[in-house]
Chains A and B, each alone.
Chain A
């Protein structure tokens, strides 16, 4: 008796697991597009403007997964995303060279700035040489919060340490890695009165700007360029390449670029991104 009892319980449990899955299938594959992108495009609100327009125009349904550029490219490598909008040029070139992505195209840029506490313990406020500023922060041992998450901004930060000829200060008391998105990292930096590297868009949109003013801006090394990349459908048969190409074309069309250039002007008095197709 006990055995058949167990068997019926097991069958019931199995049924309960499978039933909801079966009920939810049938989403048309070609109408669904997974966009893996950076936290900055989501936290700034830009995608809230662009995606509904694209969905209306194309009749497709976009799932936006906002992670760091590194994680976005990892998703592309596995074919877990169809199209990427990322800003980590060196890693992107490797990604394309390795055959994971095709048709990489420049869409827009914004700039990165170094922000820090108003009392400016490292004495870098108002300067424009980012590498020199990083060296000063290190020399002063002033608190610095790194993204530490393999995102595009994190990659840029590592380039700056290299340019300043300083070993990445992981493990030093004044250097901390948040491991989170830009918005969250800005909150932490403000709370801990620390310097951090941020894109201007997220800073304008998310930060408590009075307690975390801009210290360093205008260095050409601080340009933050966003590219769209179609995940190579030859590597992963499940990738919706047609949808990905359509999204790429949408980003590069005149209307969209104008929209990108206008975004943020009414709220922040200045645009957050500058459209810059090749």
Chain B
């Protein structure tokens, strides 16, 4: 119990003073996971739409793959990206291993299937009559996609939230491809693991509290957007 109390006090001290680069680590985490989520959205939402709307052979298999991909273990994504980006790997010449970009790669592999699968499921759940309506309006290809996405915007928002949740909480991939370098690739989760291994449980708890605060804040913000959209 003493330890817990001490950890809370230390956590509070770090949060109020910003010692131990907590602010830097927090900002970096926000930037990296934000980028990963954004890239995953840019890939995942169109891919999810394509998966749901296209009519081509193998479509069901692709949907199954996307669904399976939602359970992509971060360490597997990390290992895969490491094997490619290590100097001895295929893209070693790019010198991207142990950089924030490498983390973005790995996290994109983790979040994209989540966004694809949920988007596809949402679009497939739209009433068939809707497609006829939109076509009847004489909408072009892009307008058609846009209108369908608009109709499914609330579940797509859930897809983005789920993708973000997956990348902000993962530690395995960031550790492996980022190397947990202080000032460069140390993010909240990897920093917390390091502090635990150093025996600094207070610092680890402080980092954990920030992590939870970010997740809650982002979810609340997105939920607010969702609810406002729903009321309309």
Contact = CB atoms under 8 A, between A and B. Distances in A.
Interface in A138-175: none
A34 B182 CA distance: 14
A207 B196 CA distance: 11
Interface string B92-127: 111111111100110010000000000000000000
Interface majority SS on B: helix, strand, loop or mixed? helix
A43 B198 contact: yes
Contact of B98 (A9, A34, A180, A187): A34
A206 B145 CA distance: 56
B199 interface: yes
Interface in B30-72: 35, 39, 42-43, 46-47, 49-50, 53-56
Interface residues of A, number: 46
Given A2-B56, A63-B179, A80-B86, A25 B196 contact: no
Interface majority SS on A: helix, strand, loop or mixed? helix
A27 interface: yes
A21 B98 contact: no
Contact of A9 (B46, B55, B56, B194): B46
Interface of B: 35, 39, 42-43, 46-47, 49-50, 53-56, 86-88, 92-101, 104-105, 108, 141, 145, 179-182, 184, 194, 196-199
22 contacts: A1-B141, A6-B54, A12-B46, A13-B42, A17-B39, A17-B105, A17-B108, A25-B96, A34-B98, A39-B197, A43-B198, A63-B179, A63-B184, A64-B179, A65-B98, A79-B87, A80-B87, A183-B197, A186-B199, A187-B199, A205-B199, A236-B88
Interface of A: 1-6, 9, 12-13, 16-17, 20-21, 23-25, 27, 29, 32, 34, 39, 42-43, 45, 48, 63-66, 78-80, 180-184, 186-187, 205-208, 236, 238-239
